[in-house]
């Protein structure tokens, strides 16, 4: 394995963390340090010998520091192929010595643009030009040059220099990291510039870091991994897993569905999800009561489900959880006594997590591409009051209790796969028909699940009823109120059917399809 002995290092860093200690180790190994502006001053403050970039280029910094290292004498020293006699001869004729190590971290553009007080002019000045140019040059010439782009790499590189040089594997790994660093830097700049236009961006670049390799994907024959957008946090990246087996591909998808739905409720609410669809949801004054009511919705489907609880897991709730087979529980906190009870189920995954944020771009993969949209959000409503976009369209009066149940059912329906019908009663789902190809089919499935509990209940439909048959089916089962978007060519027929069955009906004028 070939080793590159480091004789000269170019150092130009914005983040000075660990710089003096690293540079001192290089100097101790006889490495000549070349540095620009503020980096040179920092090295001199640590009594380290340094050659300024101006001494190498023969040119002063220009344009308030915008031009420092953008010079042929810098880039030739980095890009020279040490195995090419002609390159070596050109360096000799121009009195240039090659540079074997480039240490650069970039202006903190990503950190700067997230500050609300940052102006456009200030953000522009944080766009690094010379830094990425040097990083890319060194990474291109990684056969002969090492490139360091993060203080986290200092220890390994310093040790390699002390051991006689940078070997092939290390230089290649550093180059991979370097090109990714400049790629995600450019991605951040593109994202910022696109954000100035507003709306869905015309162009977007995703910079993804692999967080973990997963045992397999949706099925055992599929390879899988978990990725996070660099520099961004999701609830799952901040979650703390208290116990249980590693999270699987399906666990993450179901936990996302359960946690988002639970977090859409203000009152204590328990959610049970199976295959990314809710199969039980209930709001109660006490969390253990909500869990029991949610489980009663569809105990068969709840078996092996993923639980989202938007309040603290207390001892009574923990006792109910361990009585059943559950894969994952997500909650904002867990009482110490409850944690001891949950620990009896060693394989049960327990996550403590912050509430999800809903301002990201929702992207879904199609072959060699994506579809993207702003994430759907359910309009929060006040108890006893119709939201501004909702309108009562039928003849039957709407009581406060019915409105509360309609609000509850509407939130659940917005999180169920289309076509979705949710039957609710006393702030608990009693029947959920989700992912059906027809709306009347979803209604029949929800009614089959609800049984006698549908009598006196309310229904939410994520899309409008195209015909009155769905309303007739629900009315015959004793449903007393419906909330749906409206907008069908046959809305008059649908409202007439509701009136005939004595059902109150509300149009939201907003639909919540979920595919």
Active site residues: 140, 275
> Cα(first)–Cα(last) distance of the chain, in Å?
53
Length of the chain: 515
**Burial group, residue 242, by CB count within 10 angstroms (0-12, 13-18, 19+):** middle
> Which residues have a Cβ under 8 Å from the Cβ of 120 and sit 6 or more positions away?
196
Q: Compute, in degrees rounded to 10, the torsion defined by CA atoms 199, 201, 202, 206.
A: -170
- Nearest in space to 434 (alpha carbons), one of 284, 280, 306, 262: 280
- Nearest in space to 507 (alpha carbons), one of 453, 463, 449, 457: 463
- ω into residue 212 within 30 of 0, thus cis? no
Provide φ and ψ at 25, rounded to 5°: -70, -35
Pairing of strands 240-243, 349-352: antiparallel
**Burial group, residue 262, by CB count within 10 angstroms (0-12, 13-18, 19+):** buried
d(CA 11, CA 158): 14
Q: Are 396 and 417 in contact (CB under 8 A)?
A: no
- Nearest in space to 406 (alpha carbons), one of 481, 302, 335, 494: 481
**What does the radius of gyration of the chain's CA atoms come to, in whole angstroms?**
31
Query: Hey, how many other C-beta atoms are within 10 angstroms of the C-beta on 3?
Result: 14
> Which residues have a Cβ under 8 Å from the Cβ of 473 and sit 6 or more positions away?
440, 443, 444, 447
Q: Are 499 and 478 in contact (CB under 8 A)?
A: no
Contacts 24+ apart (CB under 8 A), 148-151: 148/101, 148/102, 148/103, 148/104, 148/174, 149/104, 149/105, 149/106, 149/174, 149/177, 149/178, 149/181, 150/105, 150/177, 150/181, 151/15, 151/17, 151/18, 151/19, 151/22, 151/105
> Which residues have a Cβ under 8 Å from the Cβ of 205 and sit 6 or more positions away?
183, 186, 187, 190, 191
Query: Hey, how many other C-beta atoms are within 10 angstroms of the C-beta on 13?
Result: 24
Q: Are 22 and 154 in contact (CB under 8 A)?
A: yes
């Amino acid at each position: 394995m070939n080793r590159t002995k480091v004789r000269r290092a170019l150092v130009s860093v914005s983040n000075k963390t660990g710089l003096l200690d690293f540079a001192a180790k290089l100097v101790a190994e006889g490495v000549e340090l070349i540095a620009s502006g503020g980096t040179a001053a920092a090295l001199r403050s640590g009594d380290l010998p340094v050659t300024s970039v101006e001494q190498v280029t023969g040119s002063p910094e220009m344009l308030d520091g915008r031009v420092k290292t953008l010079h042929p004498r810098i880039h030739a020293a980095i890009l020279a192929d040490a195995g090419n006699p002609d390159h070596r001869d050109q360096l000799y004729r121009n009195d240039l010595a090659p540079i074997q190590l480039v240490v650069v971290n970039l202006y903190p553009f990503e950190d700067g643009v997230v500050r609300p007080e940052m102006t456009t002019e200030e953000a522009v000045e944080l766009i690094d030009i010379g830094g990425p140019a040097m990083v890319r040059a060194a990474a291109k010439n990684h056969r002969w040059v090492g490139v360091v782009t993060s203080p986290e790499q200092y220890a390994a590189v310093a040790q390699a220099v002390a051991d006689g040089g940078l070997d092939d594997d290390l230089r290649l790994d550093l180059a991979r990291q370097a090109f990714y660093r400049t790629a995600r830097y450019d991605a951040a700049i593109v994202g910022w510039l696109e954000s100035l236009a507003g709306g869905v961006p015309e162009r977007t670049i995703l910079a993804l870091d692999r967080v973990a390799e997963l045992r397999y994907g949706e099925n055992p024959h599929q390879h899988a991994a978990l990725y996070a957008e660099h520099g961004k946090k999701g609830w799952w990246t901040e979650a703390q897993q208290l116990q249980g087996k590693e999270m699987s591909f399906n666990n993450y998808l179901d936990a996302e569905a359960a946690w988002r739905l639970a977090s859409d409720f203000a009152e204590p609410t328990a959610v049970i999800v199976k295959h990314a669809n809710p199969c039980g949801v209930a709001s109660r004054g006490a969390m253990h009561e909500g869990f029991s009511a949610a489980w009663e919705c569809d105990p068969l489907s709840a078996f092996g489900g993923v639980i989202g609880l938007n309040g603290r897991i207390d001892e009574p709730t923990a006792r109910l959880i361990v009585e059943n087979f559950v894969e994952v529980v997500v909650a904002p906190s867990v009482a110490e006594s409850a944690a001891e009870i949950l620990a009896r189920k060693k394989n049960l995954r327990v996550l403590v997590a912050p509430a999800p944020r809903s301002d990201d771009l929702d992207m879904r993969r199609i072959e060699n591409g994506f579809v993207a949209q702003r994430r759907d959000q359910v309009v929060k409503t006040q108890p006893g009051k119709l939201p501004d976009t909702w309108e009562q369209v039928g003849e039957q009066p709407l009581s406060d209790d019915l409105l509360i149940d309609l609000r509850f059912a509407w939130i659940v329906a917005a999180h169920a796969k289309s076509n979705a019908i949710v039957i609710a009663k006393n702030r608990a789902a009693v029947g959920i028909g989700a992912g059906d190809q027809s709306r009347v089919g979803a209604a029949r499935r929800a009614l089959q699940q609800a049984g006698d509990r549908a009598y006196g209940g309310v229904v939410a439909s994520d899309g409008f009823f195209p015909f009155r048959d769905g309303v007739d089916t629900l009315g015959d089962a004793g449903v007393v109120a419906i909330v749906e978007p409206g907008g069908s060519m046959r809305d008059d027929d649908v409202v007439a059917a509701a009136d005939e069955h004595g059902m109150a009906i509300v149009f939201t004028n907003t639909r919540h399809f979920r595919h």
